[in-house]
Chain A
Amino acid sequence: GPKTDSLAEALAIVQHHDAVTGTEKQHVANDYAKRLSIGYTEAEKVVAESLASLTVGETKRSPQIKFQQASSDCPLLNISYCPASEVDLSNGKNLVVVVYNPLGWKREDIIRIPVINEKIVVRDSSGKKIQSQLLPILDAFLGLRNYHTVAYLGVSPTVKPKYWLAFSATVPPLGFSTYYLSNAKKDDAIPDKSDTAYASWKK
C-alpha cells in the first residue's frame, strides 16, 4: 500500500540550510518542490485510507459513502482550485466534507471551499442545518487560479466555481467531524449571500 516514506525523505532533504533559507539555485528549488510533491501525493493516499478506517462507523451507517475510493484533498485550495468540492449538487448528489483536527484541543474554525451551486444546505453529522455564507470568487482571483493550475498541474480547469462557501466547523481534539452539502429544498434556508458595499475613491 501507499507509504509516507517518500514524503519523509523529501522533508529530510529540504532541511538542508539552502532549502530552509532559499539560497539554492533555481533548478535545485524546483527539484525540492518536485520531491515534496511526489511525497505529498503518496502520503495523501495514506490519509485517505486512514480516513476510511476512522470513518468506518459512519460508512456502515451510510454504505454509499466510500472514502477510500473517492476522498481527495485540495493542495491548491488556497487559489480556489478544488475539483473535489466543485460538484454539481443540483442533480441529487451530496458532497461529504470530512474535517480532521490534528491538535489536542477542540476547535471551531471557518471552512472555505469553492462551489458552483448557489442553493446549498450544509448539515452536520446529526442532520442539523449549519449557517453558511457565499462570497464571490473575484475575476482577479480566477485569473491567478487558472494560470497556476496550468503551470503547476498542467491542467486547464473546466469548471469555473462562482463562490466560496464559508461555514463554521466544530472538531473534537485529534478527531474529525463530517459535514454534508446538498441542494437546498424549497423550505431550506440557503446560504446568506454577502452584502456588498463599495467605497468609491471619488465619493
Chain B
Amino acid sequence: SDTVTVGLKNLKLVYSMREGKLTQYINSRSKVKESLEQAFKYYAGYGNDGTETAQASGAYIFRPNDSPSPITPNRKSPLTVFRGPIVHEVHQQINSWIYQTTRLYKGKEHAEVEFIVGPIPIDDGVGKEIATEIKTNLASDKTFYTDSNGRDFIERVRDYREDWNLEVNQPVAGNYYPINLGIYLKDKSKEFSILVDRAVGGSSIKDGQLELMVHRRLVQDDSRGVGEPLNETVCIHDNCTGLTVLGKYYFRIDPVGEGARWRRSFGQEIYSPLLLAFTESEGHWG
C-alpha cells in the first residue's frame, strides 16, 4: 500500500510510505479530516561580524540570518510502525541527530510527539535554531493564539501590533512568542492546537501552519549581557558534546469551538503528570 494508517479508535494518522511522512489527520467521532504535514527545519543564527550595528543571534535575541533551511529526512532510514492494544507508535530517524516518535494511545484523541534533538552540529561555524512545524490547510487569516503564562490565550496577528504601526524588519523573529502551555489557530470550521511539555518559542509564520523552536545552539554572544554564546554541553570528564534535548508536544484538531476543553484540561495533566513510585514485594501479589 502507498499509505500506512495508525491509531486505535477514533483518531487515525495517515503516513505516506513513499515519502515517509505524515499526510492526514482523521477523527471519525468528530468528523474532522485534515491534510497535515510535519517537518523539521533550522534557522541559521546571524553571526556577529564585528561591526557596531551587527546583532548576533544569542541567548536573548533570536535573529535568523535568512529563511529557514529544511532538514530533509534521511532516506536510508525507514519509517517504523509498532502496533499493539494500548498504543501505536511511529518511529522516524530524521537524520543522525534528530529522532522522532509519534504515539496514538488507546482512549485518547490527540497525538503525542516525542522528539530527540541534538547535539546540533556546529562544525561549520554556523549556529542553528531547530524548529518543528506542522502545516494544515486551515485558513487562519494571519491570526493565531498563544498562552499568557499558561493561563488565558492571547490573540496574535502576524506582522501586526494593535498599538502602533509595525515596520516589519524581522518577519520570523518578530512573530515569535513564548509558548508555555500551547498555541492554536482556527478557521471557520476547525481549530488546530498544540500543547507543549516545556517553555519553547512558537509562531504561525504562514496561514494554517504552526511551529515550535525545540532546540538552539549558537556560536556568538549576542552582546546583551550574558557574555557567552548559547552553546550548552554535556560532559563526561573532559569529553563534552552539545546538549541533546528530549521533549514532547501534543496536537489535536477539533471542530471550531471545541478545542478549549482539551487545551485546558489536558494542559493541566501535562503540567501535573501522574507520579510513579516503585517498590518490591515477595510472594503472592495479594
Q: A residues near B, CB below 8 A?
A: 18, 20-26, 29, 47-48, 51, 62, 64-67, 70-74, 77-79, 82, 84-85, 87, 92-103, 105, 107-111, 113, 123, 127, 131-136, 138, 140-141, 144, 147-148, 150-152, 166-169, 171, 180, 182, 192-201, 203
Contacts and interface: CB of A to CB of B under 8 A. Distances in A.
B226 interface: yes
A167 B226 CA distance: 46
Contact of A197 (B4, B199, B276, B279): B4
A109 B60 CA distance: 37
Interface of B: 4, 15, 17, 20, 59-60, 75-87, 89, 91, 93, 99, 105-107, 116, 199, 224-228, 230, 232, 234-236, 244, 246, 265, 268-269, 272, 274-283, 285-286
A103 B272 contact: yes
A138 B236 contact: no
A201 B78 contact: yes
Contacts of B99: 140-141
A100 B17 contact: no
A65 B277 contact: no
B246 A62 contact: no
Contacts of A110: 86-87, 105-106
A144 B91 CA distance: 16
Given A67-B277, A99-B276, A23 B226 contact: yes
A92 B199 CA distance: 44
A93 B15 CA distance: 42
B286 A62 contact: yes
Contacts of A192: 84-86
Nearest to A126: B286
B268 A99 contact: no
Nearest to A182: B285
Given A103-B268, A194-B83, A201-B75, A92 B278 contact: no
A135 B281 contact: no
12 contacts: A73-B275, A78-B246, A84-B278, A103-B269, A107-B274, A110-B105, A113-B276, A144-B246, A168-B107, A180-B285, A196-B81, A198-B80
A197 B252 CA distance: 24
Contact of B274 (A71, A99, A136, A152): A99
Contact of B226 (A25, A77, A180, A196): A25
A78 B114 CA distance: 10
Q: Which of B93, B244, B276, B286 has the most CB of A within 10 A?
A: B276
Given A123-B285, A127-B286, A96 B280 contact: yes
Contacts of A73: 275-278
Nearest to B246: A78
Nearest to B17: A199
Contacts of A71: 277-279
Contact of B86 (A29, A87, A107, A166): A166
Given A22-B59, A100-B274, A144 B116 contact: yes
Contacts of B234: 147-148, 151-152
B77 to A, nearest CB: 8
Given A168-B106, A194-B89, A147 B236 contact: yes
A26 B93 CA distance: 30
A136 B101 CA distance: 13
Given A71-B277, A77-B276, A78-B246, A199 B4 contact: yes
